[in-house]
Amino acid sequence: MSVKSVMIVGVGGQGSLLASRILGNVLLSEGFDVKVSEVHGMSQRGGSVVTYVKYGENVYSPVIEKGEADVIISFEQLEAARWIPYLKKGGHLIVSDQMIEPMPVITGTAKYPENIIEKIKNTGIDIISVDALTLAEKAGNSKASNVVLMGVLSTKLEFDKEVWYKALEECVPEKFLDMNKKAFELGVNL
């Protein structure tokens, strides 16, 4: 099979690393060659962060370039708009409708675009918008938006739920496991 590419984008601190590790584990146990590329260090401090997950028979480059992503999962509206050029024609966009203003907007030197999700829909891109934050809070912790979004993603990929659960068990500390499973289910049953 050809290599499939999933991008996970958001704001530093939102938990994109954990999401990419869960997905990576799912793909590895499905027998794919997998590469996951992460961001550490300074850019993690509230900056725009992006994680790449690629899988297939043979994956070479760990990074995803413009026009290559089959799926983009965004933890925030503005970040979804930012990374659209990386989406393949006909690719899917899953967006948490959370809005986090970047510093230039807070200080008034830039404007946060209005109606981002509406505008993306109008371009014809296949987009699923999710109130992941509310669902995560419903599951018990606002930090679990990442796992809600993994639940949504799981409906776009054809892997058994047990594989996802096993990956959750491997990536999440035991005391948070039930809460994360709940968050995952809320994403699945959207």
Q: How far is the CB of 143 from another protein (least distance, A)?
A: 8
Q: How far is the CB of 168 from another protein (least distance, A)?
A: 15
Write the CA distances from 139 to 34, 57, 130, 136, 150, integer angstroms: 30, 36, 15, 5, 14
Taking residues 114 to 153 in sequence order and writing x for each that binds another protein by CB under 8 A, - otherwise, the string is --x--xx--x-x-------x--------x-----------
Terminal-to-terminal C-alpha distance of the chain? 29
Q: Where are the alpha helices (DSSP H) in 58-171?
A: 77-83, 103-106, 116-122, 132-139, 145-154, 161-171
> Interface with another protein includes 104 (CB under 8 A)?
yes
Would you tell me which residues interact with another protein (CB under 8 A)?
Answer: 11-13, 21, 24-25, 28, 33-48, 59-63, 65-68, 78-79, 81-82, 84-87, 89, 100-113, 116, 119-120, 123, 125, 133, 142
